[in-house]
Amino acid sequence: MIARTDARHIPVLGQEAVNFLAPHDGALYVDATFGAGGYSRAILDVPGTRVIGIDRDRTAIAGGFDLVDRFKGRLTLVEDRFSNLEAICAAQAGGKVDGVVMDIGVSSMQLDRAERGFSFRNDGPLDMRMGSDGPSAADVVAKASEADLANVIYIFGEERHSRAVARAIVKARTEAPITTTRALADIVARVVRAKPGEIHPATRTFQGLRIFVNEELDELRTALTASEHVLKPDGRLVVVTFHSLEDRIVKNFLNERAKGGGGSRHLPEARRVEPSFEILTKRPVVASEAEVAANPRARSAKLRAARRTQALAYPEDEPFGWPTLASVMRGGRS
């Protein structure tokens, strides 16, 4: 689930994403997951374009100040969640833009810094927060009930041994607080066995906790809906995902918006719902062999793109039925 790849700040499927956006003079775009600024830089290389870059990570925003200077004010940076995209566009651009690009998941910059607590490759505090607010992974591990931990690890990490992992975490935390990435990885490795050549036993547990702590899937769905509201007719939406859970949300969102029909569960049957998007990628675009060879993290990337029609936005979607961060932290018990 990595979008920004290295010190050169080249995003996965970056050229393909920009090609679908088709940036042109006088147009305004939103880089909803600014990161290291790879998409923003490519868009701004087209004369006369402007970009609003959004990131909840203060480090990423600070790292983009050089681009603000380089492009002489054509880039505006906003420290915020990308789920607030609609309000940000209203404040910065009067509400409407020509394109939105987003990549979903954690960046290499975050993974490679042990103090951020995203990875067990280097020991660090069990944090995992993309921003600086809200409960950390250590807080969730300390307070969530065994049942909630099992659900989180199963739903968001797709770990089939989630019950055994949750049971081991609850037992271990009665003996000592679990505050580091290595401590958690060791606990998981004692109950999840991996064969040679397979991923580390703790990979899915870490993924599940990270997605949950950052509310990534709810953020994604809200951002997709916001994009539907802020895009001008003929505006482009481009989304790069790195996991099946994320890709499924994007695929289902675009398929629903592209099919239209004679009403919906939210509207009277007599009112026809016109398609609000035209899908531009019948199948998801994937990284080339050359890109995967240069950056193995690109192997799981999928890009989907769509064009906004002139139809009204669809009614708001109903909430997902999975555990929420607020409810788990309220109801946590040992």
* From 57-61, 250-254, 287-291, the region with the lowest mean pLDDT: 57-61
Q: Is 90 exceeded by the pLDDT of residue 323?
A: no
Q: Is 50 exceeded by the pLDDT of residue 18?
A: yes
User: Residue 196: what pLDDT?
Assistant: 78
User: Residue 133: what pLDDT?
Assistant: 82
pLDDT digits (tens, 9 = 90+) for 268-309: 554 568 999 999 999 999 999 999 999 888 999 999 999 999
CB 34 within 8 A of CB 54: yes
Question: Strands 50-55 and 75-79: what pairing?
Answer: parallel
Question: Which residue is listed with tokens 């009614």?
Answer: 315
Per-residue pLDDT averaged across 313-320, rounded?
80
Average per-residue pLDDT for the chain: 88
Question: Which residue is listed with tokens 């807080």?
Answer: 139
pLDDT digits (tens, 9 = 90+) for 78-103: 999 999 999 999 999 888 999 999 99
Q: Residue 7's pLDDT band (boundaries 50, 70, 90)?
A: very low
Long-range Cβ contacts of 129-133 (<8 Å, 24+ apart): 129/213, 129/214, 130/56, 130/57, 130/106, 130/214, 131/56, 131/57, 131/58, 131/81, 131/214, 132/58
Q: Is 60 exceeded by the pLDDT of residue 65?
A: yes
User: Residue 315: what pLDDT?
Assistant: 83
Report which of 134, 123, 139, 136 is spatially closest to residue 173, judged by C-alpha positions: 139
- d(C-alpha 149, C-alpha 169), whole Å: 9
- Which residues are CB-contacts of 137 (< 8 A; sequence separation ≥ 6)? 117, 126, 127, 128, 129, 184, 209, 210, 213
Sign of the dihedral through C-alpha 284, 277, 229, 75: positive
User: Residue 322: what pLDDT?
Assistant: 82
Q: Residue 113's pLDDT band (boundaries 50, 70, 90)?
A: low
User: Residue 2: what pLDDT?
Assistant: 37
- d(C-alpha 36, C-alpha 83), whole Å: 19
Q: Is 80 exceeded by the pLDDT of residue 317?
A: no
Per-residue pLDDT averaged across 9-32, rounded?
94
pLDDT digits (tens, 9 = 90+) for 197-236: 778 899 999 999 999 999 999 999 999 999 999 999 999 9
Give the domains, in start order, of the chain with CATH numbers: 14-108+216-308 (3.40.50.150), 116-214 (1.10.150.170)
Report which of 274, 264, 285, 267 is spatially closest to residue 308, judged by C-alpha positions: 274
Q: Which two tokens stand for residue 93?
A: 């651009």
CB 151 within 8 A of CB 144: no
Q: What is the pTM of this model?
A: 0.88
Per-residue pLDDT averaged across 156-184, rounded?
96
- Residues of the chain with pLDDT > 90, as a percent, come to 71
CB 117 within 8 A of CB 126: yes
